[in-house]
Amino acid sequence: MKKLVLFFTLLSFSLLAQVPPKPYGALPSERQLQWHDTEVYGLIHFTPTTFENKEWGYGDADPKLFDPKEFDAEQIVLAARAGGLRGLVLVAKHHDGFALWPTKTTDYNISKSPFRNGKGDMVKEFEQAARKHGLKFGVYCSPWDRNSAAYGSPEYVNIYRDQLKELYSNYGPLFMSWHDGANGGDGYYGGAREKRSIDNTTYYGWDSTWTNLTRKLQPTANIFSDVGWDVRWVGNEKGIAAETHWATFTPQPPKGVSVAVPGQANYPESPEGHRDGKFWMPAECDVPLRKGWFYHPDEKPRSPDELFDLYLKSVGRGAALDLGLAPDTHGKLHEDDVAALKAFGDRLQKTFATNLAKSAFIRASNVRGFNSRYGTKNLVDDNKTTYWATDDDYKTPDLIIDMYQPRTFDIITLGENVRLGQRIEAFAVDVLEGENWREIYKGTSVGAKRVVKLSTPATAQKVRVRITKSPVGMAMNELGLYKQAE
Protein backbone atom coordinates (compact mmCIF):
# COMPACT_ATOMS: atom_id res chain seq x y z
CA MET A 1 0.00 0.00 0.00
CA LYS A 2 2.75 2.40 1.03
CA LYS A 3 4.64 1.60 -2.16
CA LEU A 4 1.57 2.34 -4.22
CA VAL A 5 1.10 5.74 -2.57
CA LEU A 6 4.72 6.56 -3.20
CA PHE A 7 4.36 5.43 -6.81
CA PHE A 8 1.33 7.68 -7.39
CA THR A 9 2.94 10.60 -5.60
CA LEU A 10 5.97 10.35 -7.85
CA LEU A 11 3.80 9.88 -10.92
CA SER A 12 1.67 12.96 -10.24
CA PHE A 13 4.81 14.93 -9.40
CA SER A 14 6.47 14.06 -12.70
CA LEU A 15 3.27 14.69 -14.64
CA LEU A 16 2.97 18.09 -13.00
CA ALA A 17 6.55 18.80 -14.00
CA GLN A 18 5.56 18.29 -17.62
CA VAL A 19 2.83 20.91 -17.44
CA PRO A 20 4.01 24.20 -18.92
CA PRO A 21 3.45 27.41 -16.95
CA LYS A 22 0.04 29.02 -17.41
CA PRO A 23 0.05 32.07 -19.69
CA TYR A 24 -0.20 35.46 -18.01
CA GLY A 25 -2.35 38.37 -19.22
CA ALA A 26 -2.91 39.40 -22.85
CA LEU A 27 -1.01 37.26 -25.35
CA PRO A 28 0.49 37.90 -28.80
CA SER A 29 -1.00 36.36 -31.92
CA GLU A 30 1.11 34.31 -34.32
CA ARG A 31 1.34 37.35 -36.63
CA GLN A 32 2.59 39.52 -33.77
CA LEU A 33 5.21 36.92 -32.83
CA GLN A 34 6.49 37.10 -36.40
CA TRP A 35 6.58 40.89 -36.11
CA HIS A 36 8.60 40.70 -32.86
CA ASP A 37 11.18 38.61 -34.70
CA THR A 38 11.52 41.30 -37.39
CA GLU A 39 13.01 43.73 -34.81
CA VAL A 40 14.45 46.33 -37.23
CA TYR A 41 12.80 47.27 -40.51
CA GLY A 42 12.53 50.23 -42.87
CA LEU A 43 9.93 52.72 -44.09
CA ILE A 44 10.49 54.06 -47.59
CA HIS A 45 9.22 57.50 -48.68
CA PHE A 46 9.57 58.25 -52.39
CA THR A 47 7.04 60.21 -54.50
CA PRO A 48 7.01 63.43 -56.60
CA THR A 49 7.47 65.14 -53.21
CA THR A 50 11.11 63.97 -53.33
CA PHE A 51 11.59 65.91 -56.57
CA GLU A 52 10.04 69.02 -55.00
CA ASN A 53 12.35 68.77 -51.99
CA LYS A 54 9.36 68.94 -49.64
CA GLU A 55 8.20 66.89 -46.67
CA TRP A 56 4.48 67.00 -47.41
CA GLY A 57 3.44 67.21 -51.06
CA TYR A 58 0.43 69.46 -51.59
CA GLY A 59 -1.09 67.05 -54.10
CA ASP A 60 -0.55 69.25 -57.15
CA ALA A 61 2.87 68.07 -58.37
CA ASP A 62 2.97 67.20 -62.07
CA PRO A 63 3.40 63.40 -62.42
CA LYS A 64 6.03 64.19 -65.09
CA LEU A 65 8.26 65.29 -62.23
CA PHE A 66 8.56 61.72 -61.04
CA ASP A 67 11.49 60.58 -63.15
CA PRO A 68 14.04 58.56 -61.14
CA LYS A 69 16.29 57.59 -64.05
CA GLU A 70 18.53 55.22 -62.09
CA PHE A 71 15.87 53.67 -59.87
CA ASP A 72 17.17 50.43 -58.43
CA ALA A 73 15.03 48.63 -55.86
CA GLU A 74 17.79 46.10 -55.24
CA GLN A 75 20.33 48.79 -54.37
CA ILE A 76 17.94 50.04 -51.67
CA VAL A 77 17.02 46.57 -50.42
CA LEU A 78 20.65 45.46 -50.23
CA ALA A 79 21.63 48.60 -48.29
CA ALA A 80 18.78 47.89 -45.88
CA ARG A 81 19.84 44.28 -45.50
CA ALA A 82 23.41 45.29 -44.76
CA GLY A 83 21.96 47.48 -41.99
CA GLY A 84 20.39 44.45 -40.34
CA LEU A 85 16.87 45.40 -41.47
CA ARG A 86 14.57 42.41 -41.85
CA GLY A 87 11.62 44.03 -43.56
CA LEU A 88 10.55 47.03 -45.61
CA VAL A 89 7.33 48.99 -45.51
CA LEU A 90 6.83 50.99 -48.69
CA VAL A 91 4.80 54.19 -48.68
CA ALA A 92 2.71 53.19 -51.71
CA LYS A 93 0.79 56.47 -51.42
CA HIS A 94 1.69 59.41 -49.18
CA HIS A 95 -0.45 62.45 -48.32
CA ASP A 96 0.21 63.91 -51.79
CA GLY A 97 -2.01 61.16 -53.19
CA PHE A 98 0.42 59.91 -55.87
CA ALA A 99 0.13 56.12 -56.20
CA LEU A 100 3.35 54.22 -56.91
CA TRP A 101 1.41 51.44 -58.59
CA PRO A 102 -0.82 51.59 -61.68
CA THR A 103 -4.06 51.80 -59.70
CA LYS A 104 -7.51 51.86 -61.23
CA THR A 105 -8.72 54.15 -58.45
CA THR A 106 -7.10 57.43 -59.50
CA ASP A 107 -5.31 58.93 -62.50
CA TYR A 108 -2.77 60.42 -60.17
CA ASN A 109 -0.44 57.46 -60.35
CA ILE A 110 2.85 56.15 -61.69
CA SER A 111 1.47 55.31 -65.16
CA LYS A 112 1.27 59.06 -65.83
CA SER A 113 4.96 59.53 -65.06
CA PRO A 114 8.01 58.98 -67.30
CA PHE A 115 9.10 56.12 -65.01
CA ARG A 116 9.51 52.99 -67.20
CA ASN A 117 7.63 54.93 -69.93
CA GLY A 118 4.44 54.83 -67.92
CA LYS A 119 4.55 51.02 -67.71
CA GLY A 120 6.15 50.78 -64.29
CA ASP A 121 4.90 49.42 -60.98
CA MET A 122 7.23 50.50 -58.20
CA VAL A 123 5.35 48.60 -55.51
CA LYS A 124 6.00 45.41 -57.48
CA GLU A 125 9.69 46.22 -58.00
CA PHE A 126 10.21 46.87 -54.28
CA GLU A 127 8.22 43.80 -53.33
CA GLN A 128 10.18 41.50 -55.60
CA ALA A 129 13.56 42.90 -54.59
CA ALA A 130 12.67 42.61 -50.90
CA ARG A 131 11.56 38.99 -51.20
CA LYS A 132 14.53 38.09 -53.39
CA HIS A 133 16.89 39.18 -50.60
CA GLY A 134 14.91 37.69 -47.74
CA LEU A 135 13.22 40.81 -46.39
CA LYS A 136 9.55 40.95 -45.44
CA PHE A 137 7.34 43.42 -47.27
CA GLY A 138 4.56 45.74 -46.11
CA VAL A 139 2.67 48.81 -47.29
CA TYR A 140 1.63 52.25 -46.06
CA CYS A 141 -1.28 53.85 -47.88
CA SER A 142 -2.07 57.30 -46.53
CA PRO A 143 -5.75 57.87 -45.77
CA TRP A 144 -5.27 61.62 -46.10
CA ASP A 145 -5.12 62.36 -49.83
CA ARG A 146 -4.39 65.96 -50.85
CA ASN A 147 -4.88 65.22 -54.53
CA SER A 148 -8.28 63.58 -54.53
CA ALA A 149 -11.28 65.77 -55.43
CA ALA A 150 -13.39 63.35 -53.42
CA TYR A 151 -11.45 63.71 -50.18
CA GLY A 152 -13.85 64.49 -47.36
CA SER A 153 -16.87 62.80 -48.96
CA PRO A 154 -18.08 59.22 -48.33
CA GLU A 155 -17.05 58.39 -51.91
CA TYR A 156 -13.38 58.87 -51.03
CA VAL A 157 -13.55 56.25 -48.28
CA ASN A 158 -14.56 53.71 -50.94
CA ILE A 159 -11.70 54.85 -53.16
CA TYR A 160 -9.29 54.41 -50.26
CA ARG A 161 -10.66 50.93 -49.55
CA ASP A 162 -10.28 50.00 -53.22
CA GLN A 163 -6.66 51.13 -53.06
CA LEU A 164 -6.07 48.87 -50.08
CA LYS A 165 -7.80 46.03 -51.91
CA GLU A 166 -5.38 46.40 -54.83
CA LEU A 167 -2.38 46.53 -52.51
CA TYR A 168 -3.63 43.54 -50.53
CA SER A 169 -4.32 41.46 -53.64
CA ASN A 170 -1.32 41.85 -55.93
CA TYR A 171 1.84 41.90 -53.84
CA GLY A 172 1.87 38.64 -51.90
CA PRO A 173 1.60 38.22 -48.13
CA LEU A 174 2.39 41.45 -46.26
CA PHE A 175 3.89 41.66 -42.79
CA MET A 176 2.45 45.10 -42.06
CA SER A 177 -0.37 47.37 -43.08
CA TRP A 178 0.77 50.77 -41.85
CA HIS A 179 -1.77 53.56 -41.25
CA ASP A 180 -0.61 57.04 -40.37
CA GLY A 181 -2.65 59.51 -38.42
CA ALA A 182 -2.41 62.70 -40.53
CA ASN A 183 -5.99 63.70 -40.95
CA GLY A 184 -6.87 66.42 -43.36
CA GLY A 185 -5.98 70.05 -43.82
CA ASP A 186 -5.28 72.11 -46.89
CA GLY A 187 -4.55 70.56 -50.26
CA TYR A 188 -5.09 70.56 -54.00
CA TYR A 189 -8.21 68.35 -53.92
CA GLY A 190 -8.69 68.16 -57.66
CA GLY A 191 -8.07 71.88 -58.10
CA ALA A 192 -10.28 73.18 -55.30
CA ARG A 193 -7.17 74.26 -53.37
CA GLU A 194 -8.90 74.56 -50.04
CA LYS A 195 -8.87 73.33 -46.50
CA ARG A 196 -10.85 70.18 -45.78
CA SER A 197 -11.29 68.78 -42.34
CA ILE A 198 -12.86 65.48 -41.45
CA ASP A 199 -13.96 63.95 -38.17
CA ASN A 200 -11.32 61.31 -37.71
CA THR A 201 -13.36 59.49 -35.08
CA THR A 202 -15.94 58.47 -37.69
CA TYR A 203 -14.91 59.39 -41.25
CA TYR A 204 -12.63 56.50 -42.27
CA GLY A 205 -14.61 53.65 -40.70
CA TRP A 206 -11.42 51.87 -39.65
CA ASP A 207 -13.25 49.15 -37.82
CA SER A 208 -14.95 47.95 -40.95
CA THR A 209 -11.86 48.45 -43.18
CA TRP A 210 -9.66 46.40 -40.91
CA THR A 211 -12.25 43.72 -40.18
CA ASN A 212 -13.53 43.25 -43.70
CA LEU A 213 -10.46 43.98 -45.79
CA THR A 214 -7.18 43.77 -43.90
CA ARG A 215 -7.96 40.72 -41.79
CA LYS A 216 -9.65 38.87 -44.65
CA LEU A 217 -7.22 39.62 -47.49
CA GLN A 218 -4.01 39.88 -45.48
CA PRO A 219 -4.25 37.78 -42.32
CA THR A 220 -0.46 37.98 -41.83
CA ALA A 221 -0.36 41.81 -41.91
CA ASN A 222 0.18 43.52 -38.59
CA ILE A 223 -2.11 46.52 -38.47
CA PHE A 224 -0.15 49.55 -37.32
CA SER A 225 -1.65 52.83 -36.15
CA ASP A 226 -1.40 54.95 -33.03
CA VAL A 227 -3.95 52.65 -31.44
CA GLY A 228 -2.95 49.32 -33.00
CA TRP A 229 -4.70 46.86 -33.64
CA ASP A 230 -1.53 44.78 -33.70
CA VAL A 231 1.26 47.30 -33.25
CA ARG A 232 0.91 50.71 -31.63
CA TRP A 233 2.76 53.90 -32.48
CA VAL A 234 5.27 54.70 -29.74
CA GLY A 235 3.96 58.27 -29.54
CA ASN A 236 7.03 60.10 -30.89
CA GLU A 237 9.07 60.13 -34.08
CA LYS A 238 12.37 59.91 -32.23
CA GLY A 239 12.55 56.12 -32.37
CA ILE A 240 12.46 55.69 -28.59
CA ALA A 241 10.25 53.57 -26.32
CA ALA A 242 10.08 54.23 -22.58
CA GLU A 243 12.66 52.45 -20.46
CA THR A 244 9.79 50.48 -18.98
CA HIS A 245 7.91 49.15 -21.98
CA TRP A 246 4.77 47.03 -21.69
CA ALA A 247 3.73 45.23 -24.84
CA THR A 248 0.21 45.34 -23.44
CA PHE A 249 -1.94 48.42 -23.99
CA THR A 250 -5.50 49.60 -23.49
CA PRO A 251 -6.04 52.45 -25.97
CA GLN A 252 -7.84 55.22 -24.12
CA PRO A 253 -10.28 57.36 -26.05
CA PRO A 254 -9.76 61.05 -25.44
CA LYS A 255 -12.25 63.03 -23.35
CA GLY A 256 -15.69 63.23 -24.93
CA VAL A 257 -15.05 60.42 -27.45
CA SER A 258 -16.37 56.94 -26.80
CA VAL A 259 -13.94 54.85 -28.87
CA ALA A 260 -10.20 54.95 -29.41
CA VAL A 261 -9.56 55.49 -33.12
CA PRO A 262 -6.39 56.30 -35.04
CA GLY A 263 -5.24 59.86 -34.61
CA GLN A 264 -6.89 60.00 -31.20
CA ALA A 265 -4.64 57.98 -28.93
CA ASN A 266 -3.63 59.11 -25.51
CA TYR A 267 -0.03 59.68 -26.68
CA PRO A 268 1.71 60.33 -23.36
CA GLU A 269 0.94 56.73 -22.39
CA SER A 270 2.13 55.20 -25.66
CA PRO A 271 5.89 55.00 -24.98
CA GLU A 272 5.37 52.93 -21.84
CA GLY A 273 2.07 51.15 -22.51
CA HIS A 274 0.02 49.66 -19.69
CA ARG A 275 1.00 46.94 -17.28
CA ASP A 276 -1.80 44.38 -17.59
CA GLY A 277 -3.29 46.24 -20.57
CA LYS A 278 -6.21 44.60 -22.32
CA PHE A 279 -4.46 43.88 -25.63
CA TRP A 280 -1.06 42.68 -26.81
CA MET A 281 -0.06 45.79 -28.76
CA PRO A 282 3.70 46.42 -28.61
CA ALA A 283 5.21 49.70 -29.76
CA GLU A 284 6.90 50.45 -33.05
CA CYS A 285 9.51 53.20 -32.77
CA ASP A 286 9.64 55.05 -36.08
CA VAL A 287 12.36 57.52 -36.92
CA PRO A 288 13.90 58.68 -40.19
CA LEU A 289 17.52 57.81 -40.96
CA ARG A 290 17.94 61.49 -41.86
CA LYS A 291 16.07 64.44 -40.43
CA GLY A 292 13.06 64.19 -42.74
CA TRP A 293 11.10 61.24 -44.06
CA PHE A 294 11.77 62.43 -47.62
CA TYR A 295 15.20 63.00 -49.16
CA HIS A 296 16.62 66.53 -48.84
CA PRO A 297 20.13 67.15 -50.21
CA ASP A 298 21.18 69.31 -47.26
CA GLU A 299 20.48 66.66 -44.62
CA LYS A 300 22.82 63.92 -43.38
CA PRO A 301 22.13 60.40 -42.11
CA ARG A 302 22.52 59.59 -38.42
CA SER A 303 25.83 58.18 -37.23
CA PRO A 304 26.28 54.48 -36.44
CA ASP A 305 26.60 55.41 -32.74
CA GLU A 306 23.26 57.17 -32.84
CA LEU A 307 21.64 54.25 -34.68
CA PHE A 308 23.00 51.74 -32.18
CA ASP A 309 21.63 53.87 -29.36
CA LEU A 310 18.21 53.92 -31.06
CA TYR A 311 18.38 50.14 -31.36
CA LEU A 312 18.98 49.87 -27.61
CA LYS A 313 16.05 52.19 -26.88
CA SER A 314 13.59 50.40 -29.17
CA VAL A 315 14.37 46.72 -29.87
CA GLY A 316 16.31 46.65 -26.60
CA ARG A 317 13.13 47.59 -24.74
CA GLY A 318 10.94 44.93 -26.31
CA ALA A 319 9.62 47.21 -29.09
CA ALA A 320 10.77 47.47 -32.74
CA LEU A 321 12.73 50.02 -34.76
CA ASP A 322 11.26 51.32 -38.02
CA LEU A 323 13.91 53.33 -39.79
CA GLY A 324 12.85 55.80 -42.50
CA LEU A 325 14.78 55.38 -45.76
CA ALA A 326 14.60 58.13 -48.38
CA PRO A 327 15.75 57.44 -51.95
CA ASP A 328 17.10 60.52 -53.73
CA THR A 329 15.97 61.90 -57.11
CA HIS A 330 18.12 59.34 -58.96
CA GLY A 331 16.04 56.62 -57.35
CA LYS A 332 18.74 55.24 -55.07
CA LEU A 333 19.89 55.62 -51.50
CA HIS A 334 22.66 58.20 -51.21
CA GLU A 335 26.10 56.70 -50.59
CA ASP A 336 26.21 58.33 -47.14
CA ASP A 337 23.04 56.46 -46.20
CA VAL A 338 24.43 53.21 -47.59
CA ALA A 339 27.57 53.68 -45.50
CA ALA A 340 25.63 54.56 -42.33
CA LEU A 341 23.43 51.48 -42.70
CA LYS A 342 26.41 49.22 -43.33
CA ALA A 343 28.28 50.52 -40.27
CA PHE A 344 25.16 50.05 -38.12
CA GLY A 345 24.62 46.52 -39.44
CA ASP A 346 28.25 45.60 -38.86
CA ARG A 347 28.09 46.95 -35.33
CA LEU A 348 25.03 44.80 -34.56
CA GLN A 349 26.57 41.72 -36.08
CA LYS A 350 29.94 42.04 -34.39
CA THR A 351 28.48 42.97 -31.01
CA PHE A 352 26.16 39.98 -30.88
CA ALA A 353 28.54 37.46 -32.48
CA THR A 354 29.83 35.98 -29.22
CA ASN A 355 27.53 35.29 -26.31
CA LEU A 356 29.81 34.78 -23.31
CA ALA A 357 26.99 32.98 -21.49
CA LYS A 358 26.98 30.20 -24.07
CA SER A 359 30.11 28.51 -22.84
CA ALA A 360 29.33 29.26 -19.20
CA PHE A 361 27.74 27.12 -16.52
CA ILE A 362 24.34 28.59 -15.67
CA ARG A 363 22.80 27.55 -12.38
CA ALA A 364 19.22 28.52 -11.57
CA SER A 365 17.85 28.72 -8.05
CA ASN A 366 14.82 26.84 -9.33
CA VAL A 367 13.91 24.76 -12.39
CA ARG A 368 10.30 23.81 -12.94
CA GLY A 369 9.66 20.34 -11.50
CA PHE A 370 13.40 19.56 -11.66
CA ASN A 371 12.59 18.91 -15.31
CA SER A 372 15.50 19.36 -17.72
CA ARG A 373 12.96 20.35 -20.36
CA TYR A 374 12.79 23.67 -18.52
CA GLY A 375 16.50 23.87 -17.77
CA THR A 376 18.88 26.79 -18.20
CA LYS A 377 20.40 25.40 -21.42
CA ASN A 378 17.26 26.82 -23.06
CA LEU A 379 18.55 30.31 -22.34
CA VAL A 380 21.48 30.06 -24.73
CA ASP A 381 20.29 27.80 -27.56
CA ASP A 382 19.19 30.61 -29.94
CA ASN A 383 15.72 29.12 -30.01
CA LYS A 384 12.83 31.27 -28.86
CA THR A 385 10.44 28.38 -28.34
CA THR A 386 12.59 26.70 -25.67
CA TYR A 387 12.73 28.36 -22.26
CA TRP A 388 13.84 28.15 -18.70
CA ALA A 389 10.83 27.97 -16.40
CA THR A 390 10.35 27.90 -12.64
CA ASP A 391 7.70 26.37 -10.42
CA ASP A 392 4.52 28.42 -10.27
CA ASP A 393 5.19 29.76 -6.80
CA TYR A 394 8.84 30.55 -7.53
CA LYS A 395 8.52 34.14 -8.72
CA THR A 396 11.83 35.74 -7.83
CA PRO A 397 14.51 33.25 -8.85
CA ASP A 398 18.09 34.00 -9.74
CA LEU A 399 20.62 32.71 -12.23
CA ILE A 400 24.35 32.46 -11.66
CA ILE A 401 26.46 32.50 -14.77
CA ASP A 402 29.95 31.12 -14.23
CA MET A 403 32.25 31.85 -17.16
CA TYR A 404 35.17 29.88 -15.60
CA GLN A 405 37.46 32.90 -15.99
CA PRO A 406 37.05 36.68 -15.76
CA ARG A 407 35.44 38.14 -18.87
CA THR A 408 34.60 41.72 -19.83
CA PHE A 409 31.12 42.63 -21.00
CA ASP A 410 28.92 45.72 -21.24
CA ILE A 411 25.74 44.34 -22.75
CA ILE A 412 23.27 41.96 -21.13
CA THR A 413 20.32 40.55 -23.05
CA LEU A 414 17.25 38.93 -21.54
CA GLY A 415 14.16 37.57 -23.24
CA GLU A 416 10.82 36.18 -22.15
CA ASN A 417 8.83 33.54 -23.94
CA VAL A 418 6.07 36.02 -24.71
CA ARG A 419 3.78 33.25 -25.94
CA LEU A 420 3.15 32.96 -22.20
CA GLY A 421 2.74 36.73 -21.77
CA GLN A 422 4.89 39.50 -20.37
CA ARG A 423 5.67 38.37 -16.84
CA ILE A 424 8.76 40.04 -15.37
CA GLU A 425 8.37 43.45 -13.69
CA ALA A 426 11.85 44.04 -12.33
CA PHE A 427 15.31 42.50 -12.32
CA ALA A 428 18.86 43.23 -11.20
CA VAL A 429 22.33 42.14 -12.27
CA ASP A 430 25.31 41.59 -9.96
CA VAL A 431 28.95 40.61 -10.38
CA LEU A 432 30.96 38.63 -7.86
CA GLU A 433 33.88 40.59 -6.46
CA GLY A 434 35.86 38.49 -3.97
CA GLU A 435 33.19 37.21 -1.59
CA ASN A 436 30.62 39.86 -2.36
CA TRP A 437 28.05 40.45 -5.00
CA ARG A 438 28.01 44.01 -6.33
CA GLU A 439 24.90 45.24 -8.11
CA ILE A 440 25.73 46.73 -11.52
CA TYR A 441 22.27 47.20 -12.99
CA LYS A 442 18.65 47.45 -11.97
CA GLY A 443 15.92 47.27 -14.59
CA THR A 444 12.21 46.93 -15.13
CA SER A 445 10.18 45.25 -17.91
CA VAL A 446 11.77 42.54 -20.10
CA GLY A 447 9.27 41.25 -22.69
CA ALA A 448 10.29 39.88 -26.09
CA LYS A 449 13.78 41.27 -25.68
CA ARG A 450 15.69 43.44 -23.26
CA VAL A 451 19.13 44.76 -24.13
CA VAL A 452 20.90 46.42 -21.21
CA LYS A 453 23.92 48.60 -21.93
CA LEU A 454 26.18 49.23 -18.94
CA SER A 455 27.66 52.70 -18.69
CA THR A 456 31.04 51.14 -17.90
CA PRO A 457 32.10 47.62 -18.87
CA ALA A 458 32.24 45.03 -16.09
CA THR A 459 34.83 42.29 -15.68
CA ALA A 460 33.92 39.20 -13.69
CA GLN A 461 33.90 35.44 -13.72
CA LYS A 462 30.50 35.11 -12.07
CA VAL A 463 27.46 37.17 -12.93
CA ARG A 464 24.10 36.93 -11.21
CA VAL A 465 20.74 37.86 -12.67
CA ARG A 466 18.01 38.30 -10.08
CA ILE A 467 14.34 38.55 -10.95
CA THR A 468 13.10 40.87 -8.24
CA LYS A 469 9.43 41.25 -9.13
CA SER A 470 6.99 39.10 -11.06
CA PRO A 471 3.37 38.09 -10.45
CA VAL A 472 4.06 34.56 -11.78
CA GLY A 473 6.91 32.12 -12.32
CA MET A 474 9.52 32.55 -15.05
CA ALA A 475 9.41 31.61 -18.73
CA MET A 476 12.64 33.02 -20.12
CA ASN A 477 14.05 32.06 -23.50
CA GLU A 478 17.18 34.18 -23.81
CA LEU A 479 20.17 35.29 -21.81
CA GLY A 480 23.32 36.89 -23.20
CA LEU A 481 26.50 38.65 -22.12
CA TYR A 482 28.35 40.60 -24.80
CA LYS A 483 31.00 43.22 -25.35
CA GLN A 484 29.93 46.01 -27.66
CA ALA A 485 31.99 46.21 -30.87
CA GLU A 486 33.51 49.56 -31.83
By DSSP bridging, strand 436-443 and strand 361-364 are unpaired
- Using CB distances below 5 to 8 A depending on partner kind, what does residue 293 bind out of ligand FUL, Ca ion, none? ligand FUL
Distance CA 307, CA 326 (A): 16
Site for ligand FUL in 22-81 (CB under 6 A): 43
Work out whether 296 is an interface residue with ligand FUL (CB under 6 A).
no
Residue 77 vs residues 73, 347, 395: alpha-carbon distances, Å = 6, 19, 44
For the CB of residue 300, give the shortest distance to ligand FUL in the complex, in Å: 19
Nearer to ligand FUL, 141 or 458 (CB): 141
- Position of minimal CB gap to ligand FUL: 180
180 binds, among Ca ion, ligand FUL, none (CB under 5 to 8 A by kind): ligand FUL
Q: How far apart are CA 343 and CA 351, in angstroms?
A: 12
Q: 369-407 b/e with 16+ CB inside 10 Å = b?
A: beeeebbbebbbeeebebbbbbbeebbbbbbbbbbeeeb
Compute, in degrees rounded to 10, the torsion defined by CA atoms 457, 460, 462, 464.
Answer: -30
Q: How far is the CB of 32 from ligand FUL (least distance, A)?
A: 21
Q: How many CB atoms sit inside 10 A of residue 156's CB?
A: 20
Q: Which positions touch Ca ion (CB under 5 A)?
A: 378, 381, 383, 386, 477
Is 415 within 8 Å of 384 (Cβ atoms)? yes
Q: Is 121 in the site for ligand FUL (CB under 6 A)?
A: no
Give the DSSP H or E segment for 74.
Answer: helix 73-82
Q: Which is nearer to Ca ion, 50 or 378 (CB)?
A: 378
Residue 276's binding partner among ligand FUL, Ca ion, none (Cβ under 5 to 8 angstroms by kind) is: none
CB of 285 to ligand FUL, least distance (A): 12
Name which of Ca ion, ligand FUL, none residue 182 binds, using a CB cut-off of 5 to 8 Å depending on partner kind: ligand FUL
Q: Does 96 bind ligand FUL (CB under 6 A)?
A: no
Direct distance between the N- and C-terminal alpha carbons of the chain, in angstroms, rounded to an integer? 68
C-beta closer to ligand FUL: residue 44 or 343 = 44
Question: Of 293, 308, 344, 374, which lies in the binding site for ligand FUL, with binding defined by CB under 6 A?
Answer: 293
Helix (H) or strand (E) holding 130: helix 122-132
Interface of this chain with ligand FUL, residues 171 to 190, rule: CB under 6 A: 180-182
Complex with ligand FUL: residue 50 or 470, whichever CB lies closer: 50
**Residue 220 vs 386, nearer CB to Ca ion:** 386
- By the 8 A CB rule, do 233 and 263 touch? no
Nearest distance from C-beta of residue 373 to ligand FUL, angstroms: 44
- The contact set with ligand FUL (CB under 6 A) reads 43, 180-182, 286, 293
